[in-house]
Structure formats: C-alpha cells, structure tokens
Structure 1
Amino acid sequence: MQELIESASSGPWGIIVGAAFGVVASVLFEDRLLRIRQGTARRARVLRSRIRRTLPEQADLFTLGPLRTSVRIIEGDGTQVIDEQRIRVMVTHRPVEVPDEIRPWIDEVAALQEVRRQRGEPAFWNGPRYAVDGLSIGRSPLSEQPEICLRVRESDYFTFLATQQLDRPLPGGGTLRGRYVDGHDAPVFLRNSFGANAALITADDQLIFGRRSADVGTRPGAWGPSAAEALSRNLDSDGRSAPELYRLMRRGILEELALEPDEYLLEMLSFFIDTELQQWGSAFVGSLRSVTAEELLARRSRGAPDKWESEELRMVPFQIGPVLRFIADGHRTGDLVPALPVVAYMALVHRFGRRAVERAAAKLLRNG
C-alpha cells in the first residue's frame, strides 16, 4: 500500500492527481472569494443606507449664487438617472398618529371646507394621502446605481393642511416648527406630502413653467415646475399594492398638460425635502418627442382634467442663461415655489453638464 501511494504521488499519476487537486482548490478558493466580495458589497450597501437616513444639516440647503432656498437635496445631482426599476415604495397600512393638541386644527379645516362647499365656493375634499415614514438609499454593488426605498404611512389631505400651520401657536405654548422641526428630523405626522415634480422640455427646446392658481392648497400664485403631483392612496395604489413614483409623475403630466406617456421620455434625477413646510418630493426631467410649445398650448386650450391648478404657462428657451434669469427674477420677487430652482437646475445639469451650468451660473448670477 505504501508503495502504491508513493507511486501515485510521482510520475504520470502524480501529475494527474496534482492537477485535479489544483482545479478543486482553485474552484473552492474562487467560490469563497466570491462569497466574501458579495458579503462585503451587501454590508457596504447597508452601511450607506444607514448613513443616508441621517439628513444633512440645515446649512446644506440648496443655494445657487445669491439664490437661497429651503430645499435640502437628499439624493441626486442631475448627472445620473434614478432608474424606475430601482425604486421601491413600502406602505404601512396604519394611519399617522397625530398629537391630541393638533386634532382640533384638523376639525377646523374640515368645518371650513364644509362651509365653503355650502356657499358654492371652491373647497377641498379630504383625499387619502401618504405621509413619509422614511427614505433609505443604497448603491448597487457594481454600477453604483442608486437603490431607493421610500416608506410611507396612511394620511389624508385635511391632516396635511392642518400640519402646514407650522408657525401657529400651540395650546400649550410654542409652535410646531419650534417644537418638532428646528434642530430635529421632523416626525412623521408633519410629513404628510410626497410630490413628483417635472421640468418638461418641448420638442422645440422650450422649458415649461406654470404659475399656480389661487385655488391650490399651498403656495398659490407662485411659479412652479411644468407639472407637480402629490402621492395619493386612491389614485396611485391598486388595491393594497404599493404606488410607483414614475407612474405618479406620468399621471400628473397627463392631468395637468394632457400629454400621454408615449409622447415624452421621463427620467428621475433627485429626491429632496422642502424644509419650510416639510414637503418631500422628487425631481424629474421630461423631453417631449414631437410636441412643440405652440402645439402644447393649443392642446391644453382644449381642456385638461386639472388645468385649473395652473393659471398660466410660460415658455422659456431651454438654455442655461434664459432659465437662470427666469429663476433669478422670480426669486427676487418671492414668486417661486422653493423646489423650482432645484428641479430646473437638475434639468440643466442633465442636458448641459454640471461644469457648464455651474460656470454659467456663477457668471450670470454674479453680474445680476
């Protein structure tokens, strides 16, 4: 037996056995190395996700030259598209818990809307909405693509309107802003809105801006993006299934501008929060395939389901200078939705590149 073993370890048999052992060892080593790499990538994604749950400090609000906004960008800078397949929305089917001292405010909102309805005046109905429970952001292991998980809870429109009164004195003293917002990550009961916002560019390179009507719930009369839509429980969820953010934006574009999904290319560029009113949102850019500015205005004149939400549309050449000048003028007069500079900036960066936009913005805004 000893002689057989010695003969097997040398000569032709030794070569064959050694080669076979080498192949097996190589496969086992590579498999172990792959598992280590995969585990490291998973831990890195989890770590990034945990880190990104902590929002930046107040000093990190979006600025561009003299432009100052109340918007904090959570993810995205305009250079990378957030893929539709990498966004997940998780719904907790449990209503937002509102402090007892704020419940009378909700009753006041309901009573006021009923009075307006009885008088035949414009009134809001208590549509089912979502509140933002949290936002987790990770990265795919190879391409470093953003992977988004938005967690939401059940809320309603009257709760949203009541909790927009951040500076109203509370019965026990102080305000919602002072007690829950300043120096804190605001609680879920104040995050009763998630909106999709789009900068739409016509086939003849005109960027669409919309002036909000006097009848909308927040920021009436201010200039905003081409289309904006809030996440709705009854319109954006099929039964108990989770909503989809790209579908939300397509619904808003259809309802406000009468554009069908196959008439444009839609891409998400960022997530943000308007810290002034605790409104969360996402920024999209949409490029119309063949519809020109003139054709869009003519089509909208023939009706759109939510045409009333914008009292005026303004077309601005989609170039860095004209777009920034429009925003700067609106900023000086206080006529801008805070998210508008962010949405427009993302669209410009996506088309012209960050360096070109930053360079042109520095020169243009410095010279007034």
Structure 2
Amino acid sequence: MDVSSGVAGLVLGALMGLLLTVFFEDYLKDRRSRVGRRVRRLVARGGLPEQRAEFHLGPLKCPMLIVEGDGEQVINEQSVRVVVDHDPVELPAEMVPWRDEVAAEQERRRAAGEHAFWNGPNYAVSGFTVSRTALDESPEVALRLRPADYYTFLTAQQLDREFADGTTPRERYLAPTTPLDVPDFLNCSFGTNVAVITADNLLVVQQRSTRVGSQPGTWSSSANEALSRQLDSRGRSAPNLYDVMRRGIVEELAIEETEYHLELLAFTIDTRRQQWGALFVAFLHDLTGADLVERRSKGVADKWEHDRMEFEAFEVAPVVRMLLSPQRRDRWSSVGPPLFYLALIRKYGRAHVERRAAVELRRLGLK
C-alpha cells in the first residue's frame, strides 16, 4: 500500500467534508432565514393557524365542543351505558334565591295567561368517560346522571349574573376549569339532536320557535329532544339515549321507529351555555321530503317547537353553501352546523367531505 496516496486521500476527504459542511451550513442558515421571514409575515397578517377546540367551518364558528365522535365511527346503542345517582343536584346557597325568582316569574306568567315554562324533571350530567374496545377500538361511553329540574336549569343559565362580590357563575365555576370538569349543577341540560336524511337524499332543516327556552328563532337540527326523568326513565331505571331521540323524531316529525335507521355520531358540550348533547343521524327508508311535508300538514305532537321546515340536497357543496349563506350564517343554533357536518362525514367519508368543503370555501372566497 502506498502511504503517500493514503495520506493524500485522507487530506482530500477532510477538505471535501469541510467544504460540504460550510455549504450545507450556509444553505441551512438561508432556509432558516427564509422560514423565519415567512413566519413573521404570517404573524403580521394573522395567517398562523388559530388554536380552536370548538367547531368551525371557514368564518362560521360555533361554541360547540365535540367531546367524542368523528362522524365516521358510529357509537352503538349497546356501547352507551347510563348510570343514575339518585341524590339530586344542589345549587350554591347564593343561587337558591335566583331559582325562587324563576319559579315566581313562571307562576306569574301562568296566572296572567302568558307563555310559561313547566318545571319538568330532568337530569344533570355528573360524569362522562370513554374507553375503547380491544378488538376494533370502537368507543364505549359511560354517562353518569343526577336528578335535576327545569327551573334549576334556567337558574344555572344565568351564567353572567353577578354575585354579591361582583363575580359571575361563569367566572367562578367555568373559567377556572375545562367544560368536562364543571360542577354538576351547571350541567342541568342534556339534549339529543338528529339530522334526518330523506329517501330522496334531502336534509331536513328546521327553524326553532321563538317560544322555546333555548336558542329561540335559530335554524337547527331536524328534530331535538331533551332528556326527561318523567318520560325517559322507566321507574328508577336509567334512560336510553337512542330511545330519547326516537321519541323526539316521532313527536316532532311523526316518523315511526320502523321507518328509519338511527346512528349516534357524537357527544358534545355547548361551551357558551354549558349544555350537554348527543348528535344522531337518521336515514329514512322510503319517506321523501314531500311525504314529510304531507305528514306535517296533518299535524304532529310538538309542531309548536318549530316555525318552519326546509330541505337541502344532502351533498357537501349544497350543505356548505347553506351553512355559510349570509341569510343564515349568524342565525344557526350551536348544534346545527356541527351536526350536519358530521352527518356528511358519516355518508361520504372525512377525506371527501374535507376536500369538497375546501373547494366550496375557496369558491365562496372564504378561504
């Protein structure tokens, strides 16, 4: 072996390594500089992604936190376990007089022949856990409830009313923690909502009456029903959320259980009002949009809860345009947009829905 050639090779290799190091160091510095300038420009014009936990679609924002569910995987009826603790919720001492005021006001309205709310027995959410099955990782949900009533709910909804010390329930009980961990007396509402898809592929959209207690006059789901201790608990047994939604569908749309296929898509919390809910989709077997209009004209049990029924083609682009239309963008209930979006995902798949929604947002100049 020629020693001189070996030494020359080592020297040459060292020089090449030095040159490459200098080259790549300059290259990396240049790339970091470019990235830094790009980030600074994004920050300057507000272009960095905003960290938002609640549902949003382009400029449409809803105070709705999807706690469990993505639209693609159904939460089976057998996978939802509801446990009822029989000790009722208790309001903080400072809020008890507020409840007395609610009761007195409803009695005054009733005596005067005005629209008044009945103090129906309902439930408060005191616990919520999710686990996964070992085989396919499908969700299994445990929901814990405690007895409450509607007047307690109306009292707890006064989240921005001041206590004697100047604080509010929102500041004292909501701000310091997450929506999942607030005291149960603030969780005195659990509603089920459904997106109904007709046999001719139309989405049923309803406008809430101005006489309902929550989000009156807004455009919302096809049907909704609050969890009731009187109607949904058989004696002292725990309620079945699927049955609650079935009751809402027959009472508000006059559709019987045998006429559709029902799926649970998600559990949610309205973070502005601290209201829990479950989102469903129902695919009708044979009934068309015209059939539903015909049935509604002949009367339904809870027709008064909605002022108008409309239909939209159940495809991504038409639904996105409907959600973002100037006439409705600021008139949606918190549940409508996330429910309809998850229902689209259930039928068409997440990848397809996201691609088509992005195209429609660009077409509308909103992205």
TM (norm. structure 2) is 0.83
Whether 2:217 is the aligned partner of 1:213: answer no
Q: CA offset at residue 165 of structure 1?
A: 1.2
| Distance in 2 separating the partners of 1:133 and 1:319 | 38
Q: 1:129 to 1:330 in 2, by over 3 A?
A: farther
Whether 2:334 is the aligned partner of 1:338: answer yes
Is the CA contact 2:80–2:142 (under 8 Å) kept in the aligned structure 1? Answer: yes
Residue pairs, 1:202-351, within 5 angstroms: 202-329=198-325, 333-351=329-347
- Find the counterpart in structure 1 of residue 123 from structure 2: 130
- Find the counterpart in structure 1 of residue 349 from structure 2: 353
String of CA shifts for 1:18-69, please: whole Å, max 9, x gaps.
xxxxxxxxxxxxxxxxxxxxxxxxxxxxxxxxxxxxxxxx831112222221
The one-letter amino acid paired with 1:329 is: S
- Find the counterpart in structure 2 of residue 45 from structure 1: none
The one-letter amino acid paired with 1:108 is: E
Whether 2:162 is the aligned partner of 1:169: answer yes
Q: Is the deviation greater in 183-192 or in 154-163?
A: 183-192
Q: 1:183 to 1:61 in 2, by over 3 A?
A: farther
The one-letter amino acid paired with 2:143 is: L
1:314 is paired with a residue of what secondary structure? strand
| Distance in 1 separating the partners of 2:293 and 2:128 | 37
- Find the counterpart in structure 1 of residue 60 from structure 2: 67
Q: 1:81 to 1:330 in 2, by over 3 A?
A: farther
- Find the counterpart in structure 2 of residue 190 from structure 1: 186
Q: Is the deviation greater in 327-336 or in 145-154?
A: 327-336
Q: CA offset at residue 314 of structure 1?
A: 1.0
| Distance in 2 separating the partners of 1:293 and 1:302 | 15
4+ runs deviating over 3 angstroms: 330-333
The one-letter amino acid paired with 1:132 is: V
Is the CA contact 1:190–1:278 (under 8 Å) kept in the aligned structure 2? Answer: yes
- Find the counterpart in structure 2 of residue 89 from structure 1: 82
Is the CA contact 1:324–1:361 (under 8 Å) kept in the aligned structure 2? Answer: yes
| Distance in 1 separating the partners of 2:327 and 2:266 | 21
Is the CA contact 1:207–1:318 (under 8 Å) kept in the aligned structure 2? Answer: yes
The one-letter amino acid paired with 2:337 is: P
The one-letter amino acid paired with 2:165 is: G
Q: Is the deviation greater in 76-85 or in 326-335?
A: 326-335
Is the CA contact 2:323–2:329 (under 8 Å) kept in the aligned structure 1? Answer: no
Q: CA offset at residue 350 of structure 1?
A: 0.5
Task: Count residues with an aligned counterpart.
Answer: 311
- Find the counterpart in structure 2 of residue 107 from structure 1: 100
Residue pairs, 1:116-155, within 5 angstroms: 116-155=109-148
| Distance in 2 separating the partners of 1:366 and 1:194 | 36
- Find the counterpart in structure 2 of residue 48 from structure 1: none
| Distance in 1 separating the partners of 2:306 and 2:247 | 16
| Distance in 2 separating the partners of 1:346 and 1:303 | 30
Measured on the aligned residues, the alpha-carbon RMSD in Å equals 1.3
String of CA shifts for 1:246-284, please: whole Å, max 9, x gaps.
000000001111111001000001111110000111110
Give structure 2 stretches of 5+ with no counterpart. Answer: 1-50
Q: CA offset at residue 75 of structure 1?
A: 0.7
1:276 is paired with a residue of what secondary structure? coil
- Find the counterpart in structure 2 of residue 54 from structure 1: none
Percent identical residues: 52
| Distance in 2 separating the partners of 1:279 and 1:215 | 19
Is the CA contact 2:219–2:328 (under 8 Å) kept in the aligned structure 1? Answer: no
